[in-house]
Chains A and B, each alone.
Chain A
Amino acid sequence: MDSTAKTYSLVFSFPDVIVGNGFTARVELKGHALFVQEGEESTWLYGVQPGAVAGGGKDWAEATRAFKENYLSVLFDIAIEAVDYEGFKSAVEAFFSEVNEPNQEEWARALDNVRRNPDQLAGHTTVKAEDHPPCLRVSMLDQRSMNPRVNQFDAVEVARAAAA
């Protein structure tokens, strides 16, 4: 990572409905990512867990949109390949389970940096990192589980350490 880059620890929540071959699945993923401002017009989100996802743009809005698009494109690819719900679920779990270890170390360093310099997040809405561990829930939607409570918004938030 460029030592001059501005880096923050993020937590995100992506609740999605994915249609596969003969099934409809709900994928609720809570993950960790790194926000890195690498230059005037180069902002990136790099996955920590799941680690194999990234998205960049000229600012926060573009980068978060590209990150979500890259994430969804993996779920779409899996949905095309999976012959049934069990195969889909298993492949999504494998994707989620892979941690990007260098990014994880950077995420922890960025969190520690915020702990030591909490003022740098003044004006930003933050959440406690320990309240947002990565987790995944994949479930099949049927006539009974399809209801409006399934509809939820994405969230991408800056994490702070407990002491900050």
Chain B
Amino acid sequence: MLDACAPGHTRKERDHNWCIRFGTKSYPSLPKGPHGRRENPAIQVGHVKNMARHLGILDCAKQRLEGLQ
């Protein structure tokens, strides 16, 4: 999704999160590891939705990820 909606973005793995940078915006809180595994997958969708809003790519992201509709 990020490759299609945020061309030129960078992603860096940190201890707890992925840090995504796109244009002038940073999203340093996309969970990985124990923070990213939950029983209810809907719980994870909110993180992706918030990141897409923050980076200004929500419309594009909605076309690619069903859970964001």
Contacts and interface: CB of A to CB of B under 8 A. Distances in A.
Contacts, number: 77
B15 A103 contact: no
Interface residues of B, number: 24
Interface in B17-49: 17, 19, 25-29, 31, 35, 40, 42-43, 46-47, 49
B28 A44 contact: no
A101 B15 CA distance: 27
A77 B17 contact: yes
Contact of B14 (A46, A81, A94, A95): A81
A110 interface: no
Dominant secondary structure of chain B at its interface with chain A: mixed
A52 B46 CA distance: 12
Interface of B: 14-17, 19, 25-29, 31, 35, 40, 42-43, 46-47, 49-51, 53-54, 56, 58
